Amino acid sequence: MAGSLIKIDEEIVTSAVASVTLTGIDSTYDVYMVRFNNVVPDTDTQTLFTRPTISGTMDTNGNKDYAYKIMRAGASFQNTSLTNSDKIEVSFILGTGTSSQEMGNGVLYLFNFNNASEYKFLTLEESNLRHTGELTGNQGGGVFKNNSSACDGIGFFFASGNIDSGTFTLYGLKK
């Protein structure tokens, strides 16, 4: 697998921003990977969301579905899902906050994002550390039900407040 990940774009957040957008998705690769590390909001108990971009702008239409399993070290597992949403949830409902050591980390794989005639899919693996010290994680996926436009990137934002810090990286998977 060495050499199969080609870095395309990276955003390192060191002071509060409303959102992060990674661009560079085109027909060069069939599958793209996004990695986000040490993501922290500037306000407490936040949920991280994503949207694909079309011509550099995050798509806000209600044509996104997602479902995933929430895995919690200190409580029962849960399921969450939503249809016809304007965004895809990346970190789960209990969220990430501002206490010491709280942060989110994850990997998304993006399929068909550069194909204007197909739905776009993503898979999600995410973990975060809550203010209580509880480790939580998510595994699941989502679909962007658009078969009329190609996507050129992906954006991230919190439900409210800003992204205070973190690293977001877009890779192409070598064919």
pLDDT at 114 over 80: yes
The pTM of the full predicted model, rounded to 2 decimals, is 0.92
CATH 2.70.98 for domain 5-173, yes or no, is no
What whole-number distance in Å separates Cα of residue 127 and Cα of residue 140? Answer: 12
Query: For residue 152, which phi and psi values (nearest 5 degrees)?
Result: -110, 0
Task: Specify the DSSP class assigned to residue 91.
Answer: S
Task: Specify the DSSP class assigned to residue 133.
Answer: S
How confident is the model at residue 2, as a pLDDT? 61
pLDDT at 61 over 50: yes
Classify residue 59 by burial, with Cβ atoms within 10 Å: 0-12, 13-18, 19+.
Answer: buried
**Closest listed residue to residue 46, CA positions, set 129, 138, 158:** 158
What whole-number distance in Å separates Cα of residue 129 and Cα of residue 134? Answer: 6
Average pLDDT rounded to a whole number, residues 8-32: 96
Average pLDDT rounded to a whole number, residues 30-44: 91
How confident is the model at residue 13, as a pLDDT? 97
What whole-number distance in Å separates Cα of residue 142 and Cα of residue 68? Answer: 9
DSSP track, 151-169: --EEEEEESSS-EEEEEEE
